[in-house]
Amino acid sequence: MTQLTLPTPLVDYQWLAAHLHDPNLVILDASWYMPAAQRSGKQEWQEQRIPGARFFDFDSKVKDESSPLPHMLPPAEQFSRQVSLLGVSNQSRIVIYDGSGIFAAPRAWWMFKAMGHKQVAVLDGGLPSWVAQGLPVTSGEAETVTQGHFEAKLQTTWVADTKHVQAALSQPKTSRILDARSIERFSGQAPDPRPGVRPGHMPGAACLPFAELLQQGHFLPKAQLADKLTKLLSPEQHLICSCGSGVTAAILALAADIIGHQHIAVYDGSWVEWGGSTQLPVVTE
């Protein structure tokens, strides 16, 4: 029997529907919303989900409990333990979706990449696309799953911290910081939604709002993604993606992966860490 292989880091509803019952496939709902949206990813998962989908809670469970920053990547042992409870093994083929179309799922995708898992993809269009096609959904409490055995191995090249960002900013020829926030927040015209976090951006960073890579909850076609990214990024540059708290930065990271960029990291602390520190340089323009 041929082992299922994910064709690309982005799959559509047709591919998922065709492989929905493959024994090696694990579907994860990673829905998360900004507090202002007043939506609960877990509650919505209970109300409506793709059959067999387990809830991947990176905001309150699969996160670094010791960090004061929101939903930071947890240590490898913790990640291993929690995703094993979701029935995930190192042999699993993982498809992740969210309730927005494309918003939070790339964050979970990046977390698995950072923990050494290669066979992971995001469902383009997410749950809205699935539902729009009249495909099956289920609701209620989670089905019982058999515990998996996942052994995470942190891939440090996928993760950037403050020191990495500072080094990258001093080496603009070899590194590039892309900020996924809106131009209003990037330029300091709009205040940061989090108290105590300064408006503006890192000196030398470029703004690529994540919404510019999307259309109606789907990624733009690959050629259009390449056009957007290559205007700001050369193939040999190391890319570090940043945003407000490390969620939409992963949309940029996934887009870069889709077009074949080789050196990609997410700044996990993102602006809540950088803008929240009085020791780090911030500019407005």
- Catalytic (active-site) positions: 243
**Burial degree of 32 (CB within 10 A; 0-12, 13-18, 19+):** buried
Going by C-alpha positions, the residue among 107, 102, 95 that lies closest to residue 125 is 102
3-class secondary structure, 138: strand
Could you tell me if 242 and 179 are in contact, meaning their C-beta atoms sit under 8 angstroms apart? Answer: yes
Half-sphere exposure at residue 208, Cβ-oriented, CA atoms within 13 angstroms: 28
Separation between Cα atoms, residue 14 and residue 247, nearest integer Å = 26
Separation between Cα atoms, residue 63 and residue 89, nearest integer Å = 19
Contact residues for 23 (Cβ-Cβ < 8 A; gap 6+): none
Give the sign of the dihedral formed by CA 201, CA 205, CA 210, CA 214: positive
